[in-house]
C-alpha cells in the first residue's frame, strides 16, 4: 500500500458518536507520518511468548484488530501478551478454548489494549500449533498528540490516579469506535493479579475529589487475565486539572490502567 493510500485511510477515520459521527481532526488530532502496517505470522512454538510485533524506534502504535486462526488439529488456548511500561500483561484467552479450524477476532472492545510506545511488543502464547496470527496496526510518530497514559505499578487498595490533564491543555478521550477498528477503548483496565478484582472508574473535575458524584463506571468484578473498558459511543472532554481514577481492591503491581487521549 502506498503512503498516499495510508494517509487517506488514516485521515478518514471517524469517531462514532451518539446521534452522529465526528472527525478526530475536528478535535485537533495530529498524527505525524501515519502508516498502516499489516503483520501476518504463523506461530509454531508452544508454551512461551512468541513476539509478533515490536513498535519501531520513534513510533507509537494502536493495535486495531487481531485475528487468530487455529490450524493445529485440536482445540487450543491462546493468550495475547503485551509488554509496556516495563510490565508484561497477559490476557486471558478469548475464547477460553479455540476449536480446531476456528477463527477468533479480538479488538479493543473485548480485549482493551493501550497505544503502545517504541520498544513495546505484542506476542501470543499458545498450547497448540500452528496458529495463524494477523494484526492490523495504526503506526505514527511519537510527536503525535495521541497517546495512552498508563499505570503498571505502585497500585494501592482504593483510588489510584491514572491521568491528570496538564495545565493549558484539553484532553479528548475517544471512547466510541473508529471506522475499521471494531471498537476503541478510551479508558481501560486489565487484571493480571491471578484472582478477581473489583474496580470502579471516576472522572474527577479540577479541584475535586473521588466521589459517587463523578463515577463513570460502577463497581464491577474483573476476572484474572480479564479486561474492562469504557465505551460510551461518544467523545469525553477533560479540562486542565481534571483527572481519571481507578478504584481497585488489589495492591498487586500486576494490573494495567490507562486512558487513551489526545491533548490539544
Listed range (32-41, 67-76, 213-222, 230-239) with the worst mean pLDDT: 230-239
The top-level CATH class assigned to 145-263 is mainly beta
pLDDT in tens, 58-97: 999 988 888 999 999 999 999 999 999 889 998 888 888 9
Which pLDDT belongs to residue 54?
97
Alpha helices in the chain (DSSP H): 3-11
pLDDT in tens, 159-216: 999 999 999 999 988 765 443 344 456 888 888 888 889 999 999 999 999 999 999 8
Pinpoint the residues of the chain covered by CATH 2.60.120.1330.
3-140
The top-level CATH class assigned to 3-140 is mainly beta
How far apart CA 251 and CA 256 sit, in angstroms, is 12
Closest CA to 263 of 232, 233, 242: 242
How far apart CA 242 and CA 216 sit, in angstroms, is 14
Measured from the Cβ of residue 196, the count of other Cβ atoms closer than 10 Å reads 13
Cell of 28: 485537533
Amino acid at each position: 500500500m502506498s503512503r498516499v493510500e495510508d494517509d487517506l485511510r488514516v485521515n478518514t477515520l471517524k469517531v462514532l458518536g451518539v446521534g452522529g459521527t465526528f472527525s478526530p481532526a475536528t478535535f485537533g488530532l495530529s498524527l505525524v507520518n501515519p502508516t498502516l502496517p499489516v503483520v501476518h505470522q504463523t506461530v509454531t512454538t508452544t508454551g512461551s511468548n512468541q513476539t509478533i510485533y515490536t513498535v519501531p524506534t520513534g513510533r507509537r502504535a494502536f493495535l486495531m484488530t487481531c485475528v487468530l486462526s487455529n490450524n493445529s488439529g485440536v482445540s487450543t488456548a491462546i493468550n495475547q501478551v503485551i509488554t509496556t511500561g516495563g510490565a508484561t500483561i497477559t490476557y486471558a484467552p478469548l475464547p477460553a478454548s479455540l476449536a480446531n479450524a476456528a477463527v477468533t477476532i479480538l479488538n479493543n472492545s473485548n480485549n482493551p489494549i493501550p497505544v503502545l510506545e517504541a520498544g513495546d511488543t505484542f506476542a501470543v502464547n499458545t498450547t497448540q500449533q500452528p496458529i495463524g496470527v494477523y494484526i492490523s496496526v495504526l503506526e505514527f510518530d511519537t510527536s503525535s498528540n495521541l497517546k495512552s497514559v498508563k499505570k503498571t505499578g505502585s497500585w494501592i487498595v482504593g483510588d489510584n490516579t491514572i491521568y491528570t490533564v496538564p495545565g493549558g491543555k484539553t484532553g479528548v478521550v475517544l471512547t466510541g469506535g473508529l471506522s475499521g477498528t471494531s471498537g476503541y477503548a478510551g479508558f481501560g483496565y486489565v487484571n493480571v493479579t491471578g484472582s478477581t478484582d473489583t474496580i470502579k472508574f471516576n472522572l474527577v473535575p479540577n479541584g475535586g475529589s473521588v466521589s459517587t458524584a463523578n463515577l463513570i463506571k460502577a463497581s464491577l468484578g474483573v476476572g484474572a487475565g480479564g479486561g474492562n473498558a469504557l465505551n460510551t459511543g461518544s467523545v469525553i472532554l477533560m479540562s486542565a486539572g481534571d483527572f481519571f481514577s481507578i478504584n481497585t481492591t488489589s495492591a498487586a503491581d500486576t494490573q494495567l490502567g490507562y486512558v487513551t487521549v489526545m491533548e490539544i
